[in-house]
């Protein structure tokens, strides 16, 4: 048995472990034990953590756990999807003159653990293939490393859904991570663990409470519960295992209600090996009295209160950020090198890594040279002879697809006319979405009122979602214009990084009265708004300011000047007029 | 792509999801219905159900090694296995289960339709056709998870082939035509983007799948899945009888289908219903008629009754309704209303098809 704790400390000589363990880290180590167990059928784990010593410590713990026969292989994000499966090795085939195959990455690593770094940037094709492999059980155990924080897009939804566990190491410090317990015994026969029916019901209820209804997640919960019980060497799973499993599956921390003694609750902090006798005792207790589920319920309520509903949903990949959709085929803004779309011609260089040469064009190119090349090699040429193809012959298709546009609405929801205005903005969004079926544009909505600006609708092209999110819109209060500008800017940047063309539309009278810190300070609010606008203008986002004031004053046109935006007054901004106006801009965009 | 029989969850053991199961069986009985579109959240058993269905259906007979799943009676010209060169013997006949081909997101047109066989082109300089997924799916199912995220041009192509049952490849100097008769099954989550109405219309039937509502049912789902994972063989054996029962009913319904008649007055009702709902084109009416026929065949009747139409109308029509931005009512509700007026149900009667309509308050996906 290796003393990894000592080894990690040797790597980080100046760091003393903390006296108190960080539960997030304890949990992470348990997850490592579970995922490293080769009999665990769950398949995948999502690890949210930035690069750094904490992540490294976890990974090194994992690689010790899996022993010497297996190893942690990496699947880089730029892997050509074809490499996942058995495929013809073009170069080798040409050299050998017979088909030479390359075995796929997945097949080569069935026994190993496959590490997918930067999983949040995985291209859709790779995502689809991995998801399918997990479903077909042809994939090795996978770990998706995700460096995005909660605000950004995470692991593609299809993979988040198929991850049995979800860890977040953002709250773990280097000192926490210096604590590495000795390796426990490998998990033995987790399948034999009995999970009482009441426990299963409670777990199902609990997940539902957190907005998780997917059968895949429920099944993961069952498996993780079993694995945790197996680690404690008990034959029957108890409520503490279930709680631990809920935390691992959903990634939320459940807080034990204060003032109550819960020896069976919260991941036990003692090392696992001496826990044997204790847990048998606990087991005895569990048998003698019915499961105490009230504690779990209380924790669930606490967890729900702590987590805003949207956060709860987005974190498990159930809803919210539309990342899956957003990433589709937009990894590069450069549309000349598009991976999909209509063919626009041929080129001698691949537009992207892994592009398949256009066979016919290549053969056409090579054909006229055959006789000459054969003669150059001192052979005669006759029909039916093998072709001699050189590097110069390869031709690749160029594809072209039009840039997509994301229209970002920032709507002033303050003051008395807010409700009406929001209603019209909503109508306009629905009209635009209804129109963008074929064009595949996206629409987002930010409303600002009170202390800050809120993203009411993440960029989406789904009318269903828009209707759902826009069903109830808050209105009234002061005007945090500066925050609205900042938020729109961030969203626009994100859209651009996905290769979309953002288009900002502000419905405002240009008079903010809330500063960025949330305090009512007119002067600061104005200055900050102008600064934010200039910053936004520096990124050259096309934008439009619709002045909705009854009697337009210079504020809005000043803002437009700072933003380098087009300006128009539309005191009664109705949905139809707005959509026509915006449609004109958007259509122009797509043509250029 | 090849999975062992015991790896497949038995169709009969799927908890709930009656509408999904029924829709899939209907499509399996009469492939001419057109594809099935299942919209709903992730993890609701769509994938499980479609795989399970293929494992349950009667096996098909093909020649060993045939990539086109040719019918041994009428092999396709391009197939080199079923048309061996010279005096070579035909390979032996084998029985395989109906293929279910997964269409990966981002599959290229080459991969879907088939393309020049690169291997032979490069190694032997030979112009040969390498069949694609469409050929593999012949006489089986083509399953597209997340159909709403699929490239439009691929979806167009698939629907075209699905409707004509022939795949015609005229590109890269190849000219190939081979049959591709399959049931197209698409699934997706409407919150991640919708299908264009033109595409929606080309799917024969559409249904909305949601997670089981009760905790009891959900627990049952995982319990069965757990039993299955632990000992697939035993689990399948336990459900084999039920599975065979369903298979026999599919075979019986298929045999009966040809003899099912649709009375004129029912046809008139169907047309009236489609008019009432403003369904464009005749596809809606045709599908509804076929669906009603399948429904009566499943019920072992030779004559379509009004109730068959009432039962199948939501599936066949709800995705064809024109979107009305001002009407927030779900499309299922609109179909329901139209059914009420066409079939003249008294106001105090229970809903015509309580079995298939959504309970009030559930979220409606869709095509409203």
Per residue in B25-62, is it b (16+ CB within 10 Å) or e — as a string? bbbbbbbebbbbbbbbbbbbbbbbbbbbbbbbbeebeb
CA distances from residue B357 to A80, A242, A385, A551, B312 in whole angstroms, order as listed: 45, 36, 66, 52, 11
Cα distance from B289 to chain A (closest Cα, Å)? 29
**Which positions in chain B touch A158 (Cβ < 8 Å)?**
42, 146
Q: What is the DSSP letter of A115?
A: E
DSSP state of A479: -
Check pLDDT > 60 for residue A329: no
pLDDT tens, residue by residue, B18-55 = 889 999 999 989 888 888 998 887 778 888 888 888 88
Q: Is A139 within 8 Å of A128 (Cβ atoms)?
A: no
Residues in chain A within 8 Å Cβ distance of B108: 356
Q: Are the Cβ atoms of A389 and B219 closer than 8 angstroms? A: no
Our CA-based measurement puts residue A67 at a distance from the nearest CA of chain B, in whole angstroms, of 25
User: pLDDT for B122-132, tens place per residue?
Assistant: 666 667 788 88
pLDDT above 70 coverage of chain A, percent: 70
Per-residue pLDDT tens over the stretch A549-588: 777 778 888 888 888 888 887 766 677 777 777 777 766 5
Of the residues A43, A193, A204, the best mutation for testing chain B's interface (the one with the most B CB atoms within 10 Å of its CB) is: A204
Q: Residue B183 forms beta bridges with which residues?
A: B141
What pLDDT score does A117 carry? 87
Structure pTM? 0.66
Confidence of residue B171 (pLDDT cuts 50, 70, 90): low
Q: pLDDT tens digit string along B184-197?
A: 888 887 766 667 66
Per-residue pLDDT tens over the stretch B240-291: 899 999 999 999 999 999 899 999 999 998 998 888 888 877 888 899 999 9
Quick check: ipTM above 0.85? no
pLDDT value at residue B230: 83
Give the closest-approach CA distance of A342 to chain B in angstroms.
9
How are the residues of chain B apportioned to helix, strand and coil, as percentages rounded to the nearest 5?
45, 15, 40
Q: Cα distance from A200 to chain B (closest Cα, Å)?
A: 7
Do the chains contact at A322 and B366, CB–CB below 8 Å? no
Residue A147 CA to residue A351 CA, distance in Å, equals 28
Which one has a higher pLDDT value, B199 or A28?
A28
Does residue B28 contact residue B57 with C-beta atoms inside 8 Å?
A: yes
Looking at per-residue pLDDT, the higher value among A585 and A496 belongs to: A496
Taking an 8 Å cut-off on Cβ atoms, the answer to whether B219 and A125 are in contact is no
Mean pLDDT computed over A267-290: 39
Contact across the interface for A431 and B151, Cβ inside 8 Å = no
Mutation site for A-interface testing, chosen from B1, B20, B111, B149 by largest number of A Cβ within 10 Å = B149
Q: Is residue A65 within 8 Å of residue A4, measured between CB atoms?
A: no
Q: Which two tokens stand for residue A102?
A: 């390359």
pLDDT-wise least confident of A19-28, A533-542, B66-75, B359-368: B359-368
Answer whether A363 sits within 8 Å of B121, measured CB to CB: yes
Mean pLDDT of A245-258: 74
Residue B294, pLDDT score: 93
Average pLDDT of chain B, as a whole number = 80
Q: Supply the residues of B annotated as catalytic.
A: 283
Model confidence band, residue B295 (pLDDT cutoffs 50, 70, 90): very high
How high is the pLDDT of residue B350?
47
Q: Which has the minimum average pLDDT: A28-32, A257-261, B14-18?
A: A257-261
Percent of chain A with pLDDT over 90: 1
Sort A391 into a burial class: Cβ within 10 Å, 0-12 / 13-18 / 19+. Answer: exposed
Exposure string of A243-269, with b = 16+ CB inside 10 Å and e = fewer, is bbbbbbbbbbbbebeeeeeeebbbbbe
Residue of B17, B42, B48 to mutate when probing chain A, most A C-beta within 10 A: B42
Is residue A209 classed as helix, strand or coil in its secondary structure? Answer: helix
Instruction: Write down the mean pLDDT value for chain A.
Output: 73
- Tell me the C-alpha distance between A430 and A462, whole Å: 9
Give the SS3 label for residue A59.
Answer: helix
Structure tokens at B238: 């336990």
Nearest CB partner across the interface for B325, out of A128, A434, A468: A434
Q: B99: number of CA atoms within 13 Å, CB side?
A: 23
A55-69, A132-146, B147-161: segment of lowest average pLDDT? B147-161
- The DSSP 8-state label assigned to residue B78 in this structure reads T
């Amino acid at each position: 048995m290796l003393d990894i704790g000592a080894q990690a400390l040797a790597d980080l000589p100046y760091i003393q472990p903390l006296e108190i363990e960080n539960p997030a880290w304890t949990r992470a180590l348990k997850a490592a034990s579970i995922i490293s167990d080769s009999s665990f059928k769950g398949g995948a784990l999502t690890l949210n953590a930035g690069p750094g010593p904490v992540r490294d410590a976890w990974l090194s713990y994992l690689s010790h756990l899996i022993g010497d026969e297996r190893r942690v292989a990496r699947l880089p994000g730029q892997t050509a999807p074809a490499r996942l499966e058995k495929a013809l090795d073009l170069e080798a085939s040409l050299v050998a003159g017979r088909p030479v195959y390359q075995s796929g990455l997945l097949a080569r690593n069935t026994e190993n653990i496959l590490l997918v770094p930067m999983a949040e940037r995985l291209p859709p094709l790779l995502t689809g293939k991995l998801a399918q492999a997990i479903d077909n059980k042809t994939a090795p155990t996978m770990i998706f490393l995700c460096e995005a924080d909660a605000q950004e897009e995470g692991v593609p939804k299809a993979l988040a859904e198929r991850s049995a566990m979800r860890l977040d190491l953002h709250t773990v410090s280097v000192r926490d991570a210096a604590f590495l317990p000795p390796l426990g015994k490998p998990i033995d026969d987790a399948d034999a663990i009995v999970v009482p029916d009441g426990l299963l019901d409670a777990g199902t209820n609990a997940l539902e409470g957190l907005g998780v209804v997917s059968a895949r997640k429920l099944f993961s919960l069952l498996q993780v519960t079993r694995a945790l019980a197996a680690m404690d060497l008990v034959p029957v799973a108890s409520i503490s295992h279930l709680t631990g499993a809920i935390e691992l599956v959903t990634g939320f921390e459940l807080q034990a209600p204060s003032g109550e003694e819960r020896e069976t609750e919260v991941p036990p902090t003692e090392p696992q090996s001496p826990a044997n006798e204790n847990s048998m005792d606990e087991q005895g207790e569990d048998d003698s009295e019915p499961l105490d589920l009230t504690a779990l319920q209380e924790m669930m309520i606490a967890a729900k209160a702590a987590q805003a509903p949207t956060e709860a949903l987005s974190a498990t990949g159930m809803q919210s950020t539309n990342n899956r959709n957003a990433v589709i085929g937009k990894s590069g803004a450069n549309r000349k090198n598009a991976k999909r779309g209509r063919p626009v011609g041929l080129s001698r260089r691949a537009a992207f890594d892994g592009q398949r040469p256009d066979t016919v064009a290549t053969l056409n190119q090579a054909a006229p040279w055959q006789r000459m090349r054969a003669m150059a090699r001192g052979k005669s040429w006759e029909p039916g002879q093998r072709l001699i193809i050189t590097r110069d012959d390869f031709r690749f298709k160029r594809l072209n697809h039009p840039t997509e546009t994301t229209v970002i609405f920032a709507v002033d929801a303050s003051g008395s006319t807010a409700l009406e205005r929001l209603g019209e903005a909503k109508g306009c969004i629905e009209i635009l979405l209804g129109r963008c079926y074929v064009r595949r544009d996206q629409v987002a909505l930010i409303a600002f009122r009170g202390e800050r600006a809120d993203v009411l609708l993440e960029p989406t092209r789904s009318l269903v979602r828009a209707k759902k999110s826009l069903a109830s819109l808050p209105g009234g209060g002061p005007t945090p214009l500066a925050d609205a500008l900042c938020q729109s800017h961030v969203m626009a940047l994100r859209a651009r990084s996905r290769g979309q063309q953002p288009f900002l539309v502000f419905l405002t009278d240009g008079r903010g009265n809330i500063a960025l810190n949330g305090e009512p300070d007119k002067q600061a609010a104005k200055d900050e708004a102008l600064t934010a606008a200039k910053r936004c203008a520096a990124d050259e986002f096309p934008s439009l300011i619709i002045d909705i004031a009854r009697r337009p004053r210079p504020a809005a046109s000043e803002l437009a000047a700072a933003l380098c935006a087009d300006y128009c007054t539309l005191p009664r901004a109705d949905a139809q007029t707005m959509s026509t106006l915006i449609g004109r801009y958007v259509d122009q965009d797509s043509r250029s | 792509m090849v999975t062992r029989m015991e790896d497949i969850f038995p169709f009969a053991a799927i908890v709930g999801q009656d509408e999904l199961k029924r829709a899939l069986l209907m499509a399996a009985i009469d492939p001419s219905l057109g594809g099935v579109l299942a919209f709903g959240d992730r993890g609701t058993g769509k994938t499980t159900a479609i795989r399970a269905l293929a494992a349950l259906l009667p096996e098909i007979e093909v020649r060993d090694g045939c990539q086109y799943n040719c019918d041994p009676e009428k092999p396709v010209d391009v197939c080199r296995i079923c048309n061996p060169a010279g005096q070579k013997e035909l390979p032996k006949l084998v029985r395989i289960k109906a293929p279910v081909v997964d269409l990966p997101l981002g599959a290229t047109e080459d991969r879907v339709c088939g393309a020049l066989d690169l291997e032979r082109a490069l190694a032997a300089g030979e112009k040969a056709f390498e069949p694609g997924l469409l050929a593999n799916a012949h006489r089986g199912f083509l399953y597209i998870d997340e159909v709403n995220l699929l490239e439009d041009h691929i979806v167009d192509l698939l629907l075209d082939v699905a409707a004509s049952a022939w795949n015609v490849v005229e590109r890269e100097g190849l000219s190939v035509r081979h049959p591709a008769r399959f049931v197209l099954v698409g699934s997706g989550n409407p919150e991640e983007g919708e299908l264009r109405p033109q595409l929606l219309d080309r799917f024969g039937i559409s249904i909305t799948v949601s997670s089981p509502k009760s905790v009891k049912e959900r627990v049952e789902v995982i319990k069965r899945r757990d039993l299955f994972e632990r000992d697939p063989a035993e689990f399948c054996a336990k459900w084999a009888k039920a599975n065979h029962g369903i298979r026999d009913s599919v075979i019986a319904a298929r045999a009966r289908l040809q003899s099912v008649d649709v009375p004129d007055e029912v046809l008139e009702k169907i047309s009236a219903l489609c008019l009432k709902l403003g369904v464009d084109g005749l596809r809606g009416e045709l599908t509804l008629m076929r669906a009603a026929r399948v429904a009566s065949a499943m019920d072992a009747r030779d004559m379509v009754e009004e109730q068959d139409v009432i039962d199948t109308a939501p599936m066949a029509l709800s995705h064809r309704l024109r979107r009305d931005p001002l009407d927030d009512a779900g499309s299922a509700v609109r179909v329901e209303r139209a059914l009420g007026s066409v079939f003249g149900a008294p106001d105090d009667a229970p809903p015509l098809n309580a079995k298939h309509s959504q309970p009030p308050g559930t979220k409606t996906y869709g095509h409203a």
